[in-house]
């Protein structure tokens, strides 16, 4: 099985870009399942229901979110109504809309998809290490293999999570920093891992944001309205190949840019 994980979408231009090329990329790479982080897709801070629908129509099978999960007012009801296709971090309080995990059938294989937020330099949510244990226990017997989008700031927290889940989850990737890391690898227990996928969005700014606004913020420390950058759009992702021989193991991780 081949799983393509796409880095944080920044702005609506990123959605338009995927709509124009993702099905072709899926076919070329032989992809079975696509997951993309969409928490910055609606002009940086959040995801609207309309844009979520557009992402899913572009060829994405599952949307994950992060610390801007509730940045758009209409996303709550959408999360509740489409919990099979869009996840928010599972370590948000249970009273929040949506779900943090879903089991999807992919070619007869039951794939457990999970979304968690880090807590180092991030919102102080429930401990993601304890939450992932509870998720795996609660879904025991309902899935064949599993993946996790760990939306976190600290690289150390992401690496620790990958090692913590080695041999228990076949695919672990990080999102949030918008800069792809060069540490893609298969861990000793058979878990495919990369610290951060990078981003999908315009390359002409700072992490997809207009550079002048960001530089002004750094120079003056004054509040600044951030807008999406100009420049050509590029998608950063990772392709995980999972062997169909049991026990399930990831056998290859490749960074992909398209």
Task: Give me the active site residues, please.
Answer: 68
Interior angle at CA 84, CA 117 and CA 149, nearest 5:
25
């Amino acid at each position: 099985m081949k799983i393509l994980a796409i880095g944080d979408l920044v702005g609506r231009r990123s959605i338009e870009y995927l709509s124009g090329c993702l099905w072709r990329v899926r076919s070329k790479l032989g992809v079975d399942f696509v997951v993309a982080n969409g928490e910055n897709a609606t002009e940086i801070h959040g995801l609207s229901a309309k844009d979520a629908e557009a992402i899913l129509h572009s060829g994405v099978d599952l949307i994950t979110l992060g610390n801007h999960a509730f940045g758009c007012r209409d996303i709550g009801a959408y999360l509740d109504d489409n919990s099979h296709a869009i996840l928010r971090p599972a370590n948000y309080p249970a009273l929040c809309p949506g779900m943090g995990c879903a089991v999807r059938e992919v070619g007869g294989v039951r794939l457990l998809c999970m979304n968690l937020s880090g807590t180092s330099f991030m919102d102080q949510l429930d401990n993601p290490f304890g939450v992932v244990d509870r998720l795996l226990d609660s879904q025991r017997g309902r899935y064949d293999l599993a993946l996790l989008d760990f939306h976190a700031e600290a690289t150390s927290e992401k690496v620790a999570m990958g090692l913590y889940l080695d041999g228990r989850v076949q695919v672990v990737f990080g999102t949030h920093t918008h800069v792809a890391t060069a540490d893609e690898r298969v861990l000793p227990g058979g878990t495919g891992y990369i610290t951060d996928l990078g981003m999908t969005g315009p390359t002409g700014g700072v992490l997809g944001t207009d550079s002048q606004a960001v530089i002004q913020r750094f120079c003056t420390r004054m509040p600044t309205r951030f807008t999406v950058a100009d420049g050509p759009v590029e998608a950063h992702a990772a392709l995980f190949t999972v062997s169909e021989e049991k026990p399930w193991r990831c056998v290859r991780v490749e960074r992909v840019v398209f």
